[in-house]
Structure 1
Amino acid sequence: MKSRIGYLIIGFLLLIESGYLLYGGITGDFSLSSSIALIFALSIMFLSLGYLQPQFRNKDERMKVIREKSMFYSYFIIMLYFLIFILLLGFNVISLTALATVQILASLVLITVFLLMVILSKIY
């Protein structure tokens, strides 16, 4: 997709959908599942891509640095997520299925990488 508006429209639609599913899960109309986190993470991803699209179009040194640094920082944050989940699941603080754990971790990874790109684009 080459249009900034396309990314923003898809991002807002996914954000509305995740809000609707969360509202339905809280009121009891739907079952509350961890796939809501993935839909929310996808909305964050599309909104971030909509913000970063004009900057990604220019394949300059600045965008290369932003990508490299965001992947570098996100690596350590993802390791922290893994450590927290290992501790919480190991000491039976939370009880999750394997599918729910993978969905939550995947959504955290998506949110972390793309929000770091937005933050680093403001810095650099």
Structure 2
Amino acid sequence: MNSKRTLFLLLGVIFLLNGLIINGASMYAGQFPGALMAFAMAVMSFCLAYLSPHFAAKDERAQAIRERAVYISYFWGVGFAILLMLLFNPMSPLQATAFHALSLFMAFYISVVFLSMVYYAKKY
């Protein structure tokens, strides 16, 4: 069990450094950060490092944590999709491609799912 936590922490650090380097270079060049998924994967890895002891046992508590987190994340995702539609509509002065909007949405959604799991693991 401890080896899984160490592996997830190591992966989280790798993804975080990768995201910082790639996104930092993109932002320094004045472009949209193209590797937002690296940050989402870092958040996911760090959350899984915390959650691995909670999910080791396949019991009702672990199942309840997963179910509640995915249920709540659905509403966060719908809210964020509405916000993106309002921000990046055709009349808006903000210009973004569909890839940018989808990468923002997916990075946010992945992060919210796993952060919700951490929240419910602490709550229950």
Q: Identify whether the pair has TM-score above 0.5, normalized to the shorter chain.
A: yes
1:32 Cα offset (Å): 3.8
| Closer, same or farther: CA 86–26 of 1 in aligned 2, 3 Å | closer
Identity of aligned residues (%): 27
Whichever residue aligns with residue 9 of structure 2, its letter is L
Provide the residue aligned with 1:21 in structure 2. 22
Distance 1:11 1:32, change over 3 A: farther
Return the alpha-carbon distance in structure 1 between the equivalents of residues 27 and 100 of structure 2: 18
Across the aligned residues of Structure 1 and Structure 2, the Cα RMSD in angstroms comes to 1.6
The alpha-carbon deviation at position 26 of structure 1 amounts to 4.0
Instruction: State the partner residue of 1:95.
Output: 95
CA pair 4-80 structure 1, distance change in 2 beyond 3 A: same
Q: Which amino acid aligns with 1:100?
A: H
In the other structure, the counterpart of 1:109 is 109
Pair 68,45 (structure 1): closer, same or farther in 2 beyond 3 Å = same
- Most deviating of 93-102 and 37-46: 93-102
The TM-score, its normalising length taken from structure 1, stands at: 0.88
Count of aligned pairs: 121
Q: Give distance in 2, aligned partners of 1:44 and 1:6.
A: 14
Amino acid in structure 2 at the alignment position of 1:105: F
| Aligned counterparts of 2:73 and 2:64: Cα–Cα separation in 1 | 14
Letter of the 1:23 partner, please give it: G
For structure 2, the 5+ residue unaligned runs are none
Cα contact 1:25–1:32 (8 A) shared by 2: yes
Segments of structure 1 that go 5 or more residues without pairing to the other structure are none
- Structure 2 counterpart of 1:118: 118
Q: Deviations over 1:24-46 (max 9, x none)?
A: 23443xx6444321110011111
Aligned to 1:11: 12
Q: Which residue of 1 aligns with 2:53?
A: 54
Aligned ranges 1:48-87 → 2 under 5 Å: 48-87=47-86
TM-score by length of 2: 0.88
